[in-house]
């Protein structure tokens, strides 16, 4: 994977994480948190879609890798909601 491909992948993951944070209503953290949430969401969402037998929708091809945008947003939103429930903190 080349440097431009890696940067594009980071931007896509950051956008997915930001959208998920907006859906849940959590605004803590910055750009790096959004990127991490995007990657965690991609892992969690892809795993959930595989277990449920659902298709991979809205994949973006970066180099020879496919990034599941829709499942990344859904997985990140679920992950954030779970963390918010466990931590018991108020939304800001």
Over its length of 92 residues, how does the chain's per-residue pLDDT go in tens digits?
789 999 998 999 999 999 999 999 887 888 999 999 999 999 999 999 999 999 988 899 988 888 899 999 999 999 999 988 888 766 55
- The residue segments making up the domain with residue 17 are 8-87
Cα atoms found within 13 Å of the Cα of residue 90, Cβ hemisphere only: 1
Number of domains comprising the chain: 1
45, 75 Cβ separation under 8 angstroms: yes
> Is there a domain that residue 92 lies in?
no
Within-domain flag for 13: yes
Whether the Cβ atoms of residue 88 and residue 53 lie closer than 8 Å to each other: no
Residue 22 covered by a domain: yes
Q: Is residue 3 one of the residues assigned to a domain? A: no
- pTM assigned to the model: 0.85
For residue 1, being part of any structural domain is answered with: no
């Amino acid at each position: 994977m080349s440097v431009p491909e890696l940067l594009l992948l980071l931007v896509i993951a950051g956008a997915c994480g930001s959208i998920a944070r907006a859906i849940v209503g959590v605004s803590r953290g910055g750009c790096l948190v959004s990127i991490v949430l995007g990657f965690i969401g991609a892992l969690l969402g892809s795993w959930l879609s595989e277990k449920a037998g659902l298709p991979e929708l809205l994949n973006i091809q970066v180099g020879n890798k496919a990034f599941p945008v829709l499942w990344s947003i859904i997985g990140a939103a679920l992950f954030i909601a779970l963390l918010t429930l466990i931590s018991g903190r108020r939304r800001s």
